Structure 1
Amino acid sequence: MPPPGPNGLAIGALVASVCGGPFLGTALGFGLGIAALVQIRRRPQQGFGLAVAALVVSGVTLVISVVIVTGVVLGVVRDRVAGIETVDATDLKRGDCISDLDDADRVYEMPVVPCTQPHRAEVYHSFQFPAGAFPGLAAVEKESEERCGTAFEPYDTADNADLEVYYLFPEDEAGWRQDRGVQCILEYPLARTTSLVK
């Protein structure tokens, strides 16, 4: 006689497909679900619906995973074709042209392109704070604003009146320990294909 109750593999398949995530859960859901159907066919047990549900959920997560991976790969290929290189914000240097600025409060990476390609921003100055303890956010922000403002003075002409000035700086102890650099960035109102600082 078959054991009473639903098939254990069917239950495991459904749990794995729902809770295992888009990759591991999908594989386990398919594997356990098929094994459960084989067992249920050989020795009649409850759990056919659970096994089928696990296969359906695994199929949906498989489709979602393929879409996500395809999107990431296409994004990387598109950026390479366009000449866009993702650069850590702490590695930016004077003369780097940025295809577009991120509106996020904290910026960790920037899409850098050759300045002959359309871009909306450019690093016009950078400097390092001296070694020592983190002086506090207010002091870092004040020093960054002053030094970036001073560095902008050669570019402060009537033709550049519509430029916006931004600066990236360490905002806390963790950022200060990682890098004490500040990058001063100009944002253009329209994309351009020339460098302002080179």
Structure 2
Amino acid sequence: MASLIFGILGGILFAVIFGFVALSQIKKRNQKGRGMAIAGLVLSVVWLLACGAGVAISALNQPDRDADGTVTEEGTVSSVELKLGDCLKKLPAEGVVKAVDVVPCSQAHGAEVYAVFNLSGSTYPGSDTVIKQSEDGCTERVDALSAEAQKDDTLEVYYLYPHTSLVWNSGDHSVSCLVGSETKQYTGSLRK
């Protein structure tokens, strides 16, 4: 029964251990429960296949980058993996952003990372302070944009920052400054 329960919950290792122990005990003692032990083992295999498929899909969806780190083929990256000069297919939705779609800047895109910097401090200063420091830091770095981009009224500045103390304590203090538009697509870099 333990093998079946862990198999359902995704406890692969425990399901396998309990399944094999149960099968050997059932055989020696001529007891019932063989079907549940086998079901737990089968569910473990299903979980392994699902995890493997998830990893494979994730690996296939990663963007290609050249030696300089420039995106050469589109893909999806974690928001903390964004690099200076990355172009995003579209602006991320408001709220917590975990992943974004990046494309080569030569393709139509809705936003670009024009600056990346780290917030200082060892302890999480609180959401309001992080937002204020992120906004101020991105505003200070607007001069990295081309003159045309600075004059474009459809462009707005956005920023991705560590949203919670949990993220902060994991070591992510980075802010990615984005410039983009919800209504317009761009081709080429918006930076100088």
Q: TM-score range by the shorter chain?
A: 0.5 to 0.7
Matched, 1:54 2:45: no
Relative to 1, partners in 2 of residues 1:31 and 1:116: Cα closer, same or farther, differing over 3 Å? Answer: farther
Q: CA deviation at 1:29?
A: 4.4
Task: Report the counterpart of residue 182 of structure 1 in structure 2.
Answer: 175
Gaps of 5+ in 1: 1-13
Structure 1: which amino acid aligns with 2:39? V
Gaps of 5+ in 2: 65-72
Structure 2: which amino acid aligns with 1:18? I
Task: Report the counterpart of residue 47 of structure 2 in structure 1.
Answer: 64
C-alpha distance in structure 2 between counterparts of 1:39 and 1:176, whole Å: 51
Larger Rg: 1
- The number of residues matched between the two structures is 176
Structure 1: which amino acid aligns with 2:85? G
SS in 2 for 1:195: coil
Task: Report the counterpart of residue 158 of structure 2 in structure 1.
Answer: 166
Task: Report the counterpart of residue 196 of structure 1 in structure 2.
Answer: 190
Q: CA deviation at 1:100?
A: 5.4
Q: CA deviation at 1:24?
A: 0.9
Alpha-carbon RMSD: 3.9
Aligned counterpart in structure 2 of residue 31 of structure 1, from 20, 27, 38: 20
C-alpha distance in structure 2 between counterparts of 1:177 and 1:32, whole Å: 38
Task: Report the counterpart of residue 7 of structure 1 in structure 2.
Answer: none
Please report the TM-score for the alignment, with normalisation by the length of structure 1: 0.61
| CA deviations over 1:36-84 (Å, ceiling 9, x no partner) | 44325xxxx441xx12122123213322331231132122123256454
Higher relative helix content: 1
C-alpha distance in structure 2 between counterparts of 1:93 and 1:156, whole Å: 21
Structure 1: which amino acid aligns with 2:45? L
Could you tell me whether the CA contact under 8 Å between 1:36 and 1:51 is conserved in 2?
no
Q: CA deviation at 1:117?
A: 4.9
Structure 1: 4+ residue segments shifted above 6 A: none
Could you tell me whether the CA contact under 8 Å between 1:95 and 1:122 is conserved in 2?
yes
Relative to 1, partners in 2 of residues 1:177 and 1:147: Cα closer, same or farther, differing over 3 Å? Answer: same
Task: Report the counterpart of residue 98 of structure 1 in structure 2.
Answer: 88
Could you tell me whether the CA contact under 8 Å between 1:26 and 1:62 is conserved in 2?
no
Task: Report the counterpart of residue 5 of structure 1 in structure 2.
Answer: none
Identity of aligned residues (%): 27
Please report the TM-score for the alignment, with normalisation by the length of structure 2: 0.63
Aligned counterpart in structure 1 of residue 132 of structure 2, from 117, 142, 153: 142
SS in 1 for 2:189: coil
Q: CA deviation at 1:86?
A: 3.7
